Amino acid sequence: METTNEKPQNRLAARSRLDMAIVWLMLGTTLLIIWLSFTYRTSWSAHWPDYSHMVSSLPEPSAWLRWVLGDISEVAFYKHEFASIGLLAGAYLAYWANRTGKTWQGFTICYGSGLWPWLVTSSLLGLLLSNILWGWTVTATSWQPTFAAFVSLPAAMVLMFGGGWKVTINGAIMGAVFVTPMCLLIVNYVCNPLGLPAVIGNVTGMAVASVGAFLLSRCMPSLVNSAPPKKQPTPVPAPALTKTPDYGVVWSLRRVLADFSEAPFFGNEWASLGLIVGALMAYSLNPTSPVYGTGLLPQLIAAQALTSVLGVVIWRQQWILRGWYPTYVPLVSVVPAAVLTYGGSWQVITSSALLGALIAPPLACAIARRLPADMHGFIGNVLAMAISTLLIIPFIGLLIAN
């Protein structure tokens, strides 16, 4: 009997140590940010340094810390350390609630795969390597997509091939070596000269580099686990409760909230709530700190929520039939690009939200369904982001010009 109880006890002890390590890591990071920011406070007069102060202070340690942490929430266009910490804290809470069987866990994080620790580890390693390799490209006047590895290939590799250090580390390396430089090339040599939104270059780079990485994994299966990958064009979130969702008002509101954390492959209300609360806290301390110093955070969140609401309502039947549908796609592409390009007027918010909700999700679904079995469906989602943004943004410009 003692031998049979030994392994569960060891697992519980390991989980407890992991819990404490994550909690202390988040607390330490928060305290370090506060200490560095107040130590290096020289030119900002608000309660927190703004975006321009951060980029102009590079390469000081406090500025680099803020930049790297801000990359975690870059996918939602918030770019702030508070939003990033909130996202990770909310995601960990969701993972803990799922692991302990809490009824309030929301949509099961990482689509019920149980791979969140490996997924977030690979994503964070890819982010760190990207900044080590390509951080020199960032200047006070030159934004660069060093965040790209955090929300693309590393996480997709873990979801396709499972956990373990081989997949986690190789996915992180390929994210930093393939994804980030491809995004840098397209943003700087295609989007910037042509005056296109940078998000088009970001997501196109993610798609092209990820296709190459999955082809490499096909040719060199030793890079990943030996087990053949399963077809995963559209991840299906497992509900927190065993009963079938009613897809009513409450479910719809929860789904809208979960869409905010869908891009980093979390898809959970608690992760999204942490992201949004962190961003709003940053805005309350200094309105020009998040969203690249534009002061457009309230308008951006409103537009993102609207496009998700419209998407969930319009494509409700697809959610029922498929169990999952990419209504988050315009939330992290079309809508932020429109708000940052044309401002936060109601015409821009409503037109980008509606057009994005109508065009982007079905396009993403159509592309993802046609991908080979050994390529993750997120490739179809990011390609749809690029195409829909390229089509919709000029059209909105014509609308508001008349």
247: left (phi over 0), alpha (psi -120 to 50) or beta: left
Query: Per residue in 17-58, pLDDT tens?
Result: 666 666 666 666 666 666 665 665 555 556 788 999 899 988
pLDDT of 401 reads: 85
The angle at the Cα of 304, spanning 301 to 307, to the nearest 5 degrees, equals 150
Of the candidates 200, 82, 181, the one whose C-alpha atom is nearest the C-alpha of residue 129 is: 181
pLDDT of residue 2: 39
Q: Quick one: which of 372, 370, 402, 399 has its CA closest to 384?
A: 370
pLDDT at residue 238 in the model: 46
Handedness of CA 299, 285, 275, 203 (dihedral sign): positive
- In which residue are the tokens 């929301």 written? 106
Asked whether the predicted pLDDT for residue 9 surpasses 60, the reply is no
Look up residue 327 and give its amino acid: T
CA nearest to 308, candidates 278, 336, 280, 275: 336
pLDDT in tens, 193-225: 999 999 999 999 999 999 999 999 999 998 887
Q: Looking up tokens 């079905």, which residue turns up? A: 362
Q: What is the pLDDT of residue 330?
A: 98
Beta bridge partners of 142: 139
C-alpha–C-alpha distance, residues 128 and 176, integer Å: 8
Residue 189, pLDDT score: 97
Q: What is the pLDDT of residue 388?
A: 98
pLDDT band at 317 (very low <50, low <70, confident <90, very high): very high
Mean pLDDT of the chain: 88
Q: Tell me the pTM.
A: 0.87
Going by C-alpha positions, the residue among 312, 261, 344, 341 that lies closest to residue 90 is 261
pLDDT at 95 over 90: yes
Assign residue 142 a region: left if phi > 0, alpha if psi is -120 to 50, beta otherwise?
Answer: beta
pLDDT of residue 4: 43
Q: How confident is the model at residue 61, as a pLDDT? A: 87
% of the chain at pLDDT higher than 90: 75
At which residue do the structure tokens 């014509």 appear?
398
- For residue 243, give every residue at least 6 positions away whose Cβ sits within 8 Å of its Cβ, in sequence order, or none: none
Question: For residue 234, is pLDDT > 70?
Answer: no
